[in-house]
Chains A and B, each alone.
Chain A
Amino acid sequence: MTDDMGGIESLVNIDRLIHEPARLMIMTYLYVVDGADFLFLVRQTGLTLGNLSSHMSKLETAGYVDIAKKFIGKKPHTMLRLTEQGRAAFNEYRRSMERLLGELEIPDAAQTDQIEV
């Protein structure tokens, strides 16, 4: 997802699937580890299992997350990993946001006061 437009207009090209806060949090956690199960993500993100499952199926449908079921002993266990596509999409998202936020100039205090009045 590259954007030829500069400035705030480039926001329309942002990956909305990743941009949603809960999914961004999930993607970020999965980006920094090799893989994790549902419970680990629930503990780290504070999301409920239902909420997490729903976001996870959206990410899986987009090809960003691989959901692998395996057995540990006799118990079924689900491990979640970012796919190559998911890692690339996350990197692109980071770059886009960095570019976008880097271009936004923060007004000084006097200007902020004027805006608020």
Chain B
Amino acid sequence: MTKNADLKRLEKKAWTSYHQDGLVDFFLGFLLIAGFLGYSAGDMGRILGPVLQLSSAGFLILSKKLITVPRMGLVEFGPNRRARKRKAALIATVAVLATVALLVLTLTGNVGWIRDNHTAFSILLGVGVWLVFSFFAFMQDFQRLYMLGALFAAAITLTELLDSPIPILVAGVAACISGLILLRRFLRRYPLPTEAELGSNG
């Protein structure tokens, strides 16, 4: 352990151990399923979809706090990791704002240019989504996000091209299944420590 590369690898190992719980897979799967419900539920869906999607973000934060931290323990990472986290959060904010802008354009009927170039738009949308996921995966050292991003992008592109929400539902269920498998493995590997085990060291 005399090389900086080894220390970086160790820091990365500590960081990635927090992503073994499958909660992000489950969150992304739920986002897609909420999108499917929003798409399928007619006028009510325009409210239902975003409400479910927003509440799933709350679910992710809460479940990290209630499932992951009590099993993995608490760690504060260094300034480099915090800076990367801030950059990733910035990109996520830009992506959310772009989605909202697109939604507003759709709701206000300003989508003529999309209809005229529908195939190109659908493919570009998928590529854009994958690039956002890839940037996030790179900044967060979270390899599985490349795959999940591809799943997300394919689902969105196919839904646009086929004008059917079924690809979103299929991708959502697939991501949720992946999340459940990982979560099951995580819970077995890291059982909740008892109060007696922790003693005064909490």
* A34 touching B200, Cβ below 8 Å: no
Of B24-32, B52-60, B166-174, B190-198, the one touching chain A: B190-198
Asked whether A79 and B74 contact (CB < 8 A) given A28-B1, A32-B10, the answer is: yes
Interface string of B172-197 (1 = CB under 8 A from A): 00000000000000000010010001
Q: Nearest chain-A residue to B4 (Cβ)?
A: A94
Residues of A within 8 A of B75 (CB): 33, 35-37, 40
* B76 touching A42, Cβ below 8 Å: no
Of A34, A76, A77, A94, the contact of B2 (CB 8 Å cutoff): A94
Interface size bracket, A side: 20 to 34
Most buried by B among A31, A32, A44, A77: A32
Q: Which residues in chain A, 20-37, are within 8 Å of chain B measured between CB atoms? A: 24, 28-29, 31-37
**Interface residue B199 (Cβ < 8 Å from any Cβ of A):** yes
Of B7, B190, B197, B199, the contact of A43 (CB 8 Å cutoff): B190
**Interface residue B201 (Cβ < 8 Å from any Cβ of A):** yes
**Interface residue B73 (Cβ < 8 Å from any Cβ of A):** yes
* A37 touching B74, Cβ below 8 Å: yes
Closest-CB distance, B19 to chain A (whole angstroms):
14
Residues of B within 8 A of A36 (CB): 73-76
Residues of B within 8 A of A40 (CB): 14, 72-75
* A44 touching B17, Cβ below 8 Å: yes
Residues of A within 8 A of B8 (CB): 32
Interface string of B47-81 (1 = CB under 8 A from A): 00000000000000000000000011111111000
What are 28 residue pairs bridging A and B, where the CB atoms are less than 8 Å apart in the complex? A28-B7, A28-B10, A32-B7, A32-B10, A33-B75, A33-B76, A34-B78, A36-B75, A37-B75, A38-B198, A39-B73, A39-B198, A39-B201, A40-B74, A40-B75, A42-B73, A43-B71, A43-B72, A43-B73, A44-B14, A53-B201, A76-B200, A77-B74, A78-B200, A78-B201, A79-B74, A98-B2, A101-B2
Extra inter-chain contacts (18) besides given A32-B14, A40-B75, A42-B193, CB under 8 Å? A28-B7, A29-B10, A29-B14, A32-B78, A33-B77, A34-B76, A36-B73, A36-B76, A40-B73, A43-B17, A43-B71, A44-B14, A49-B201, A77-B202, A78-B201, A79-B74, A79-B76, A101-B2
Residues on B facing A (Cβ under 8 Å):
1-2, 7-8, 10-11, 13-14, 17, 71-78, 190, 193, 197-202
